[in-house]
């Protein structure tokens, strides 16, 4: 799949990077038309009975990614949090290990997990530079996404976020991502501030934005994060409340027929 994943990243013609949480959801998304699958650290953590943000180990993330890679024949990218370590060498090692198991790319954020504190600017750039060098040394093509999460985590503003993605571009990143800017205007500024493909997150208020609207401002990739898993959890939550509080099983009548779900799992 060398180059196949990279070719999907087209400014103004965004593809949907479908975040799955197990082999079954990955197969179903691929069967319904997904061009690429990604892990979601949040959704994966939920399957382990844990909260999001720094609760997974690198070995767990790699093993989970291997399950998804084995389940589908389309590219799989890894949501690999902060690279599972603070120092640049750890980020580089994570990239090498991700490439070795067949991931098409990973994202690395600038948050010192499990806290929500942002790494200092220079240190954050060095982490991406080390990861990019490791990515270029791999035998296969590999898309490194550099995330500036300080807007999402209320650690810095949009100006600093843009400064960071521009530095990440100079350090060798292949794609950049500032999750949950304040507005579409800010997202348009992000797209204009870099020559790299920009990832946008279809969650929260941005779930109301159409693919065409993302395309118009130059977005290249639309990911779902844990949003699709949370929609699934909404069904579990609402159905369980109806059953346990009211003895009402009628929400179960909305279940997909076995013939439909089994069709994706052959």
CB 104, CB 72: distance < 8 Å? no
Q: Is 52 noted as a catalytic residue in this protein?
A: yes
Tell the residue number behind the tokens 């290249």, with chain if given: 220
Q: How many CB atoms lie within 10 A of CB 126?
A: 16
Reading the block at residue 199, the tokens are 């990832």
Tell me the backbone φ, ψ of residue 53, rounded to 5 degrees. Answer: 80, 80
Alpha carbons within 13 angstroms on the beta-carbon side of residue 212 total 0
Do 206 and 200 touch, CB atoms closer than 8 A? yes
Name the β-bridge partners of 17: 36, 223
**List 52, 79, 110, 141, catalytic entry:** 52
What does the alpha-carbon distance between residue 96 and residue 60 come to, in Å, rounded to a whole number? 16
- How far apart are alpha carbons 263 and 266 in whole angstroms? 6
Residue 89 corresponds to which tokens in the numbers above?
């060498």
DSSP bridge partners of 109: 147
User: Residue 223: CB partners within 8 Å, gap ≥ 6?
Assistant: 16, 17, 19, 38, 177, 199, 200, 201, 202
Question: How distant, in Å, are the alpha carbons of 46, 230, 236 from that of 239?
Answer: 18, 14, 5
Kind plus residue range of the DSSP H or E element containing 4: helix 4-7
Catalytic positions: 52
């Amino acid at each position: 799949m060398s180059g196949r994943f990279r070719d999907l990243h087209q400014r103004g013609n965004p593809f949907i990077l479908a975040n799955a949480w197990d082999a079954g959801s990955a197969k179903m998304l691929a069967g319904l038309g997904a061009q690429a699958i990604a892990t979601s650290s949040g959704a994966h953590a939920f399957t382990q009975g844990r909260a999001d943000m720094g609760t997974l180990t690198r070995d767990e993330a790699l093993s989970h990614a291997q399950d998804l890679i084995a389940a589908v024949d389309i590219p799989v990218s890894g949501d690999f949090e902060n690279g599972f370590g603070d120092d640049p060498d750890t980020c580089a090692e994570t990239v090498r290990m991700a490439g070795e198991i067949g991931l098409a790319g990973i994202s690395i954020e600038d948050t010192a997990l499990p806290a929500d504190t942002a790494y200092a600017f220079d240190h954050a750039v060095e982490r991406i530079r080390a990861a990019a060098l490791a990515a270029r040394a791999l035998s296969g093509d590999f898309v490194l996404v550099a995330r500036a999460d300080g807007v999402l985590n209320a650690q810095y503003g949009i100006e600093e976020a843009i400064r960071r993605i521009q530095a990440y571009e100079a350090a060798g990143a292949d794609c950049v991502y500032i999750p949950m800017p304040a507005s579409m205007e800010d997202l348009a500024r992000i797209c204009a501030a870099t020559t790299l493909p920009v990832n946008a997150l279809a969650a929260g208020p941005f779930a109301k934005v159409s693919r065409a609207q993302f395309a118009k401002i130059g977005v290249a990739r639309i990911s779902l994060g844990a949003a699709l898993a949370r929609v699934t959890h909404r069904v579990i939550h609402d159905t369980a409340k109806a059953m346990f509080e009211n003895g009402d099983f009628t929400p179960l009548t909305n279940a997909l027929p076995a013939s439909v779900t089994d069709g994706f799992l052959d």
